[in-house]
Amino acid sequence: MSKIQQRSLYLDVADRVRELIEQGDLAPGERISEKHLCERFGVSRTPLREALKVLASEGLVELLPNRGARVVRLTLKMVKDTYDLMGALEGLSGELACQNISDEGIRAIRTLHDEMLRHYRERNLPDYFRVNQRIHESILAASANEVLQETYSNLSQRVKRVRYSKKMTDDFWGNAVQDHEHMILALEARDGRRLGQILRDHLCNKLEVASLAGVVEDETALEVATS
């Protein structure tokens, strides 16, 4: 029995373009040729153009009237602003999670937390990242606020292209783990205010280790120096 409800074509196209942007197959600032992508996806221009409009309203591409679309170039300021925002949202998610999460939910996150610690002790960065992300997702889900989840994931998508330094220093890593220790304690105490604050600060630290080279505008490095 196959699925009855078929998704619209433009949604699939949008997903695929998002993927290309995230993977870097469509470079920042790169002109998006409608014809080229149509042939690549095997669809006509109509659904592709609809998809581009959606992606534009998501902030992933920009549409220049009569001159096509291009992948938005992230500036350092945009990334920083987005992180500030995501920090506030993470903070809210922590507060709400403490109000709404079940005891079982807390135990599940504790399990993830312990698993993450194992990966940390073994210096297994990929698995650490994976479990780390699941913890944050779990807290977000526990907030039981769908508008928040949707907004967060949109912002997250925008900066997904930014890759983090492979050579994350032990210092930063240690601090992050320390943050998580405090998080789980606050969560188990259902101290929303505290959990929120930790989550917010935690994200700010994350920004610091972000290696923005390549994805971010070069001229922006200049901005940093001058500001």
Q: In 3-state terms, what secondary structure has residue 210?
A: strand
Residue 94's binding partner, choosing from DNA, a second copy, none, with beta-carbon cut-off 5 to 8 A by kind?
Answer: none
Site string for DNA, 24-63 (x = CB under 7 A): -------xxxxx-------xxxxx-x-------------x
Measured CA distances, 71 to 60, 75, 182 (Å): 6, 12, 38
Q: Which two tokens stand for residue 105?
A: 């939910």
The gap from C-alpha 163 to its chain's centroid, in whole angstroms, comes to 11
Nearest to 164 by CA among 151, 176, 150, 148: 176
What secondary structure letter does DSSP report for 102?
A: -
In the bound complex, what is the minimum distance in angstroms from residue 141's beta carbon to DNA? 29
CA distance 127 to 23: 20
* Comparison of 70 and 134: residue with beta carbon closer to DNA: 70
Work out the angle at residue 209's Cα, subtended by the Cα atoms of residues 215 and 181, and round it to the nearest 5 degrees: 135
Residue 84, binding choice from a second copy, DNA, none, Cβ under 5 to 8 Å by partner class: a second copy
Which tokens in the block code for residue 107?
């135990």
Q: Which of 65, 103, 123, 226 binds DNA (CB under 7 A)?
A: 65
**Binding partner at 85 among a second copy, DNA, none, C-beta below 5 to 8 Å by kind:** a second copy
Q: Among 67-75, 76-84, 115-123, 218-226, which window interacts with DNA (CB under 7 A)?
A: 67-75
Site residues (vs a second copy, CB under 8 A): 5-8, 10, 46, 49-50, 53-54, 56-59, 63, 65, 78, 81-82, 84-85, 87-89, 91-92, 96, 145-148, 150-151, 155
Closest approach, Cβ 9 to DNA, in A, equals: 3
